[in-house]
Amino acid sequence: GEIRWVIDSVVGKEDGLGVENIHGSAAIASAYSRAYEETFTLTFVTGRTVGIGAYLARLGIRCIQREDQPIILTGYSALNKLLGREVYSSHM
C-alpha cells in the first residue's frame, strides 16, 4: 500500500508560530485538494509565490505562470544552507 506520514507535533518558540500555522496551511491544502477532485481548478500565478501559495500551485497541477515570476517551494537561503555554500543569490 501507499506510505503516508503524519505530523504529530510542531514545537514553536511562541504561540501562533507552530501548530496554528501548520493547521491553517493544512486546511487550505485540504480544501484545494478536494476542489481539484470535484471540479476544474486552475492556479494563476502573476507574482512570486512562496510557501503555501507555491505548494498549492504544485498541488493543483494546472497552472498558468508568468515567465518572469517564480514558484518557490523553498527559499534560496535555505538551499544555500543545505548545500553548505552560496550557490543561489536570488529566487529568480
| Stated pTM of the model | 0.55
Indicate if the alpha-carbon torsion angle 81, 83, 89, 92 is positive or negative.
Answer: negative
> Hey, where are the domains in the chain?
19-83
> Which of 62, 20, 59, 26 minimizes the C-alpha distance to 44?
62
**pLDDT exceeds 80 at position 92:** no
Q: Which of 27, 90, 86, 36 is nearest to 58 (CA)?
A: 36
Residues 28 and 53 sit within 8 Å (Cβ to Cβ): no
Note the pLDDT tens digit of each residue in 59-91: 888 999 999 988 887 777 877 787 788 877 776
Average pLDDT, the chain: 82
Least confident of 28-32, 56-60, 71-75: 71-75
What is residue 66's predicted lDDT score, i.e. its pLDDT? 92
In degrees to the nearest 10, what's the CA dihedral of 75, 51, 4, 8?
Answer: 100
